[in-house]
């Protein structure tokens, strides 16, 4: 929901610095002695910047832009021009933008989509049309299994991975009675299925489905108290999760029941909107701002310096999408005439990710560690995630076997 006129005005305002920067970049490139390749490589980013979930897309974009800035306007030494458009979380609009990128701008590399419903409308179409797509977020099962494609890569996770990790954690932690809860829609059902796939340590005493967009959880919380579980696993993206955590705390359940969930319910922006009620929440993610590696420390410091904000997992995913593309551009010298060669170079994943070890599996989805994180409160009252340990090492998604690629 946006005001198109206002958006157009904003877009116009934003495009001024881009327009100013573009000639400078092409001048630099023209100095190169190869006249056949004039102009930077265009990368089309279809992402969600409006709606309530708009900060996800904004963080992906900011992470991606940071990598370009660090390369001096280039990725892997090849000058790039990032085109960003807002899909409004609308599959039809996403498809429209993608088609415009292909026909008008002759884009060969795309990225950016946040939501799986948009991804399913766009990705199968563009990879068929000869575009390399690097997903910084959405990883629906349909594209990981039978629908895998040599031109489609995902640098984030397959949608189920973080939920699976919490299922494994609940087993490891010896939780014998679980209540699990998600909205009644496909991603909610997938989340609970992912959790149950690795939860073998006890019984799910109650599986609760809420209405999408529900704001009051008093009825469900009373039911949780009555079921007396050891822990509650929930998948309630965005504002729904904030509402739920606040209300659980106010019902006095915070002490007796451990809340666990995926990193989607627990980036520090959400945690700080929940406040003290989120203290101690356990969650899973492929990365955390406090991961103690030199690459990660440099990334977090650069991101803070650039945007005066702590990066979220979405920032890291956007950053890694840019690094992955950069590595392939470097290996191919920016030559996009042979996309098969470019895809082969991309698959090497020859870049240093802030998350640590990373490679693509046979289906071009990540093979990576999943960490356990805990929300902790700093003395000044702000909440942040702290890594507790590794739940999965080199985790491969459940659909890779169904992919025909080798």
Partner 1 sequence: MLLFIEQVLNGLQLGVMLFLMASGLTLVFGIMGLINLAHGSLYMIGAYVAATVTAFTGSFLLGLLAAVPAAALVGAVIERGVMRHLYDRDHLDQVLATFGLILFFNELMVILWGRQPLFMAIPEALSGTVELLPGVPYPVYRLVIIAVGLLVALGLWGLIARTRLGMRIRAGASDRETADALGVNIALLYTGVFALGAALAALAGAMAGPLLAVEAGMGESILILTFVVVVIGGIGSVRGALAGALLVGLVDTLGRAFLPQVLRLVTDDATADGAGASLAAMAIYILMAAVLVWRPKGLFPAHG
Q: Residues interacting with partner 1, by CB under 8 A?
A: 1-3, 6, 51-52, 54-55, 58, 184, 206-211, 213-216, 218-220, 222-223, 226, 238-240, 242-243, 246-247, 250-252, 269-270, 272-276
Nearer of residues 270 and 321 to partner 1, judged by Cβ: 270
Q: What is the C-alpha separation between 135 and 111, in angstroms, rounded? A: 5
Q: How far is the CB of 2 from partner 1 (least distance, A)?
A: 6
- Hey, how many other C-beta atoms are within 10 angstroms of the C-beta on 180? 27
Backbone angles phi and psi of 125, in degrees to 5? -70, -50
**CA end-to-end span of the chain:** 42
Q: How far is the CB of 159 from partner 1 (least distance, A)?
A: 19
Could you write out the three-class secondary structure of 199-266? CCCCEEEEEEEECCCCCCCHHHHHHHHHHCCCEEEECCCCHHHHHHHHHHHHCCCCCCCEEEEEHHHC
Q: Which residues of 107-125 are buried (b: 16+ CB within 10 A; e: fewer)?
A: bbbbbbbbbbbbbbbbbbe
Nearer of residues 54 and 202 to partner 1, judged by Cβ: 54
Nearer of residues 115 and 151 to partner 1, judged by Cβ: 115
Asked if 304 contacts 384 with a C-beta cutoff of 8 angstroms, the reply is no
**Distances from the Cα of 318 to the Cα of 126, 196, 305, angstroms:** 19, 29, 17
Which two structure tokens, joined as six digits, stand for 170?
């609940």
Asked if 363 contacts 399 with a C-beta cutoff of 8 angstroms, the reply is yes
Q: How far is the CB of 18 from partner 1 (least distance, A)?
A: 21
218-227 helix and 239-250 helix, angle to the nearest 10 degrees: 50
Give 266's Cβ-side CA count (13 Å radius).
Answer: 33
Nearer of residues 3 and 30 to partner 1, judged by Cβ: 3
Q: How far is the CB of 267 from partner 1 (least distance, A)?
A: 10
Q: Which is nearest to 87 in space by CA: 78, 95, 76?
A: 95
Nearer of residues 251 and 295 to partner 1, judged by Cβ: 251
Nearer of residues 42 and 246 to partner 1, judged by Cβ: 246
Q: How far is the CB of 221 from partner 1 (least distance, A)?
A: 8
């Amino acid at each position: 929901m946006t005001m198109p006129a206002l958006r157009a005005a904003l877009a116009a305002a934003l495009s001024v610095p881009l327009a100013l920067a573009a000639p400078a970049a092409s001048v630099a490139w023209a100095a190169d002695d190869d006249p056949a390749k004039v102009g930077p490589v265009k990368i089309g980013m279809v992402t969600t910047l409006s709606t309530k979930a708009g900060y996800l897309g904004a963080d992906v974009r900011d992470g991606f832009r940071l990598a370009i800035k660090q390369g001096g306007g280039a990725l892997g030494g090849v000058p790039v021009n990032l085109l960003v458009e807002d899909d409004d979380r609308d599959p039809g609009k996403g498809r429209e933008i993608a088609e415009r990128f292909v026909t008008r701008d002759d884009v060969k590399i795309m990225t950016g989509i946040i939501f799986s419903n948009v991804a399913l409308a766009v990705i199968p179409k563009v990879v068929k049309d000869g575009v390399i797509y690097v997903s910084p977020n959405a990883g629906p099962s349909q594209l990981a299994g039978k629908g895998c494609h040599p031109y489609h890569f995902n640098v984030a996770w397959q949608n189920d991975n973080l939920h699976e990790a919490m299922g494994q954690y609940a087993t490891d932690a010896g939780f014998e009675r679980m209540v699990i809860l998600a909205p009644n829609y496909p991603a909610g059902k997938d989340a609970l299925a992912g959790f149950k796939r690795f939860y073998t340590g006890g019984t799910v005493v109650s599986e609760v489905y809420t209405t999408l967009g529900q704001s009051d959880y008093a009825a469900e919380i009373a039911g949780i108290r009555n079921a007396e579980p050891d822990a509650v696993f929930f998948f309630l993206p965005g504002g729904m999760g904030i509402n739920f955590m606040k209300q659980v705390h106010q019902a006095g359940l915070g002490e007796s029941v451990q809340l666990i969930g995926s990193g989607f319910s627990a980036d520090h922006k959400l945690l700080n909107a929940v406040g003290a009620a989120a203290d101690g929440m356990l969650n899973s993610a492929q990365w955390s701002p406090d991961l103690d590696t030199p690459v990660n420390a440099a990334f977090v410091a650069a991101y803070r310096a650039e945007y005066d904000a702590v990066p979220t997992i979405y920032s890291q995913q956007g950053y890694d999408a840019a690094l992955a593309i950069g590595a392939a551009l470097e290996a191919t010298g920016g030559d996009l005439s042979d996309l098969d060669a470019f895809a082969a170079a991309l698959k090497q994943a020859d870049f240093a990710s802030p998350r640590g070890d990373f490679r693509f599996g046979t289906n071009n989805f990540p093979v990576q560690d999943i960490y356990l994180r805990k929300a902790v409160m700093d003395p000044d009252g702000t909440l942040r995630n702290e890594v507790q340990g590794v739940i999965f090492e080199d985790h491969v998604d459940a659909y890779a076997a169904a992919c025909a690629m080798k």
